[in-house]
Structure 1
């Protein structure tokens, strides 16, 4: 492992993964600052976000220690490159903790959006728990038994493949189910449908990024098991979960604004006639003494769905995928006015249809 080619594929790949993970940590830190200074979510959600960010910082500290141990503390010691340092093994656990927190929250959203469908939620829960169980087993076994990379490849290659396979399958399934639930909640009205389309995009992006890196890590460990290329992808997966979660949370205000910018329409029309039949019982007349025109104003109301990001959901099927507490389903109005001027009657009256 001491030659340049081997170093490029091992420590070089791991160093690139650590660098990219550090950049993603900076982005998630900024997003976390924006979230905590602008959101008014419930305490459990804020605690969850704080916990996820904390796991990311611990994970970054561990992989930084790993690279410092190999490249600085033991520089010029080729024999050390064959040993598996404890921080490299422990980082798997914190990466798994981050993924488990985000996936569990998305599973809870599926539970709510699916109107508490136990079969759909149960399938997602099974994959999430299976992945987390494999991650915990990998971390514990590695810390207790593994001392070299040869032992790591011999004893835990199968478990590592399983972790990445469950991660990819779980992320794809979550994104697919959220997309289906959100699209099936469309009402046919532009305002609500615009917001649901935006939320669908964020749901797809959340699953696409994490599953892409999980698949890349899976392919790497199968195609090049004696390199650290798969580790470079694995280093970044936790950051992608955090960034996807925070991006979705911080985008809620923007999505709501885009929905509110969809304009309602109103129609005005007038007509004239020579005669007027006696009004029905629901029309009121206010006659005046002098002869003149009759002005009739009829106001009708058409109700439709519109987005309202209030904290009290009014519709279980249109609940917003915004990783917080919101829903769609309050009513807005479109008024249609019609006026009629009838100059032939001897008195002027004003009619209001109610």
Structure 2
């Protein structure tokens, strides 16, 4: 399962990198010295948002599965995992809506009309990420094995994970 997740994310990220490279080539090489070209988005740049969202979604689903396993697969925890999965799905759906809207309206000047869409995508993604991090920290802490060295290492890993996540947000 883990190898499949890694391969999927790797493929999405590789394709996203190709899209960014193509957009960069379009703006910096093909349209060098043409400032008006910056006012029109390319389809590669518009499609890029969806692949970022898909990569994030696959990673979030992987961590939601880990929460499910750490929780002991109890029925009451299924609701929490389901709600977080729905929140993650909202983020991807909003990313696809933003991409379709961008493909229909190529003018960069009108990207401001998507403020609500972008706000919903970022907010739902951030809330899902924070909840996933907190739940993983809780379950890792709760499921300690009783070995002092292992427990202290787990505490250190959780502490590093939380502080690193706080810095990057």
TM-score range, shorter chain: 0.7 to 0.9
Shift of 1:152: 2.2
1:172 equivalent in alignment to 2:130: yes
Question: Distance between the aligned counterparts of 2:147 and 2:49, measured in 1?
Answer: 46
Within 5 Å, give how 1:157-196 maps onto structure 2.
157-196=115-154
For each residue in 1:123-148, what CA deviation from the matched residue of structure 2 results, as whole angstroms up to 9, or x when unmatched?
A: 321221111111122122222x1111
Counterpart in the other structure of 2:106:
147
1:127 aligns with 2:84: no
Deviation, 1:202, is 5.9
Cα shift at 1:207 = 4.4
Query: Alpha carbons of 1:66 and 1:209: their partners in 2 closer, same or farther (altered >3 Å)?
Result: farther
> With structure 1 as the length reference, what TM-score do the two structures score?
0.44
Q: In the alignment, what sits opposite 2:49?
A: 92
In structure 2, the partner of 1:112 is 69
Relative to total residues, which structure has the larger helix share, 1 or 2? Answer: 2
Question: Contact 1:178–1:203 (CA<8 Å) still a contact in 2?
Answer: no
Kept after mapping to 2: 8 A contact 1:131/1:166: yes
Alignment TM-score, normalising by the size of structure 2: 0.88
Residue number in structure 2 paired with 1:50: 7
Instruction: Call closer, same or farther: CA 1:206–1:58 in 2, change over 3 Å.
Output: farther
> CA offset at residue 198 of structure 1?
4.3
How far residue 179 of structure 1 moved from its aligned partner, in angstroms, is 0.7
- 1:182 CA displacement: 1.0
Whole-Å Cα distance in 2 between the matches of residues 161 and 148 of structure 1? 20
State how 1:272-311 maps to structure 2 within 5 Å.
Answer: none
Distance in 1 separating the partners of 2:83 and 2:160: 22
The Cα offsets for residues 27-82 of structure 1, whole Å up to 9 and x where unpaired, read as xxxxxxxxxxxxxxxxx221210111111111111112112211211111122111
Which structure has more strand as a fraction of its residues?
1
How far is 1:122 from its partner? 2.3
Gapped regions of structure 1 (runs ≥ 5): 1-43, 213-354
Per chain length, whose mean CA-contact separation is higher, i.e. which structure has more relative contact order (CA < 8 Å, sep 6+)?
2
Q: Quick one: distance in 1 between partners of 2:166 and 2:61?
A: 17
- Pick one of 57, 62, 65 that aligns with 2:22: 65
